[in-house]
């Protein structure tokens, strides 16, 4: 869990340490699979196959592209690592992982909020300079430049900030579900949600603010899908937790410098992207660049629509980065450009198969559904933000997508081995056959 904590705290910009950490995690996971005889549940096997079919599609379409190695790292090596981890973990490890995620969220959210407060004159300099240096902390966003298009909120650069893309929605969602055997105590979840909200609002990133705003709705939708009855009404305790979160958010909006500005920008940007109204969207240079990227990537895709141009393909007269011209903010446009319609169909098939495994896992272990709701909300938040930011291009951020997979695997495998049947009663022969069939697929 120390290794996982490091991955959460420093997901980028420290490859001298991060790469060995990820390699060690993979080695430990492989050892657990072999020595402890961990196995992947049957319903997840088709998901595994579609994952690597997608990787092979992008590789075969452009094996000589300039950025093909980056594509292999992101779409083959990283999924292999996290598939092994998802297969190797058990309930005890998942419980520890949730606790570590809460503690790291508190650290990151609190540190970011304090950094912004002291940078804007709200607090004296209380953070040691070596801490800020480790995170590359700076006011002004990715390149350290102050925003030219808006003065009502501040953007920052902070290497661990993107962890909040997943853990922010995760802990906000945890306030509307009861505790189960995997989730930490409610007080820790509340503190983590408050810290994530404070850090997100202070950071000035619209994608982070957007996923945090919609996280209660995401949690409700996931809960509705996983509920046996299809209903998702909140209990009195859950409504109380949601009320605490809402009051805390209002207080933080008032206390955090620029918080109202970033929320307004996030909502306005969403309205513009959904309706196509240029006046609703924020007319920032980043938005203009993304619009231009979308046009160029779609035009290039249309020349090879079936299989795409392959991982690491570039546009001849346009790039986002001189050093890495194959990377783009618009990840789903880029996936279409790289892998074509075949790749898109594989992604859709993988998502549908994952949903099937998650639902079957929830039916097999309804006592762990709260954790699954929280994990799926985290994954949804990352996938939403990834649409306009290359978050999942970093292998250390892919954990958020595989957390629901790991929980589903534990649900299915453990249900087949539990001595008790559904509802805690003694299992019948039919129960045993059904649970084993669910685990095998």
Contact predicate 381/166, CB 8 Å:
yes
The pLDDT value recorded for residue 364 is 92
The 3-state DSSP composition of the chain as helix, strand, coil percent (nearest 5) reads 70, 0, 30
Cα separation, 47 vs 353, in Å, equals 6
Query: Cα 290–295–299 angle (5° rounding)?
Result: 145
Give residue 103's pLDDT. 97
CA quadruple 98, 176, 384, 335: dihedral sign? positive
Q: How many CA atoms, within 13 angstroms, populate the side-chain half-sphere of residue 436?
A: 8
pLDDT at 149: 43
| Residue in 56, 13, 64, 55 with CA at minimum distance from that of residue 312 | 64
What distance in Å separates the CA atoms of residue 298 and residue 240, rounded to the nearest whole number?
A: 46
- Residue written as token pair 């912004």: 116
pLDDT < 50 positions in the chain? 141-153, 229-232, 254, 258-267, 270-282, 421-427
pTM: 0.84
Given this model, what pLDDT does residue 57 score?
95
Provide the β-strand partners of residue 138: 157
Supply the pLDDT for residue 73.
93
How far is residue 188 CA from its own chain's centroid?
20
Distance CA 167, CA 105 (A): 7
CA 279/CA 284 separation, integer angstroms: 11
Sorted by sequence, the CB contacts under 8 Å of residue 109 that are 6+ apart come out as 164, 168, 192, 194, 195, 196, 197, 198, 199, 200
Closest by Cα among 350, 366, 374, 352 to 411 = 366
Model pLDDT, residue 439: 57
């Amino acid at each position: 869990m120390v290794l996982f904590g490091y991955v959460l705290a420093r997901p980028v910009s420290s490859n001298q340490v991060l790469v060995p950490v990820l390699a060690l995690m993979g080695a430990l996971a492989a050892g657990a699979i072999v020595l402890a005889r961990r196995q992947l549940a049957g319903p997840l096997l088709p998901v595994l196959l579609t994952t690597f079919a997608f990787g092979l599609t992008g590789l075969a379409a452009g094996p000589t592209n300039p950025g093909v190695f980056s594509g292999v790292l992101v779409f083959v090596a990283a999924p292999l690592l996290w598939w092994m981890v998802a297969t190797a973990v058990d309930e005890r490890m998942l419980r520890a992982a949730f606790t570590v995620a809460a503690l790291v969220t508190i650290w990151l959210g609190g540190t970011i909020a304090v950094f912004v407060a002291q940078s804007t004159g709200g607090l004296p300099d209380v953070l040691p300079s070596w801490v800020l240096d480790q995170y590359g902390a700076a006011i002004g966003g990715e390149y350290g430049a102050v925003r030219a298009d808006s003065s009502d909120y501040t953007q920052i650069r902070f290497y661990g900030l993107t962890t909040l893309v997943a853990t922010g929605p995760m802990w906000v969602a945890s306030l509307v579900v009861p505790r189960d055997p995997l989730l930490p105590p409610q007080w820790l979840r509340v503190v983590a949600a408050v810290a994530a909200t404070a850090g997100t609002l202070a950071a000035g990133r619209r994608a982070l603010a957007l996923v945090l705003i919609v996280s209660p709705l995401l949690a409700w939708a996931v809960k509705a899908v996983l509920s046996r009855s299809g209903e998702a009404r909140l209990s009195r305790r859950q409504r109380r937790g949601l009320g605490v979160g809402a009051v805390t958010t209002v207080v933080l909006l008032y206390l955090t410098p620029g918080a109202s500005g970033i929320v307004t920008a996030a909502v306005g940007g969403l309205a513009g992207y959904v309706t196509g109204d240029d006046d609703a969207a924020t007319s920032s240079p980043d938005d203009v660049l993304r619009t231009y990227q979308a046009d160029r990537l779609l035009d290039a895709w249309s020349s090879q629509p079936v299989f795409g141009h392959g991982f690491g393909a570039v546009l001849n007269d346009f790039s986002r980065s001189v050093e890495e011209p194959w990377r783009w903010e618009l990840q789903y446009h880029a996936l279409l450009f790289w892998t074509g319609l075949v790749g898109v169909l594989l992604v859709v098939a993988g998502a549908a198969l994952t949903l099937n495994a998650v639902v079957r896992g929830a039916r097999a272990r309804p006592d762990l559904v709260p954790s699954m709701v929280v994990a799926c909300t985290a994954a949804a938040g990352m996938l939403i933000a990834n649409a306009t930011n290359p978050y999942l291009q970093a292998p250390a951020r892919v954990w958020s997508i595989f957390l629901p997979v790991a929980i589903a695997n534990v649900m299915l495998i453990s249900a087949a081995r539990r001595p008790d049947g559904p509802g805690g009663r003694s299992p019948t022969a039919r129960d045993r056959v059904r649970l084993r069939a669910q685990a095998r697929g």
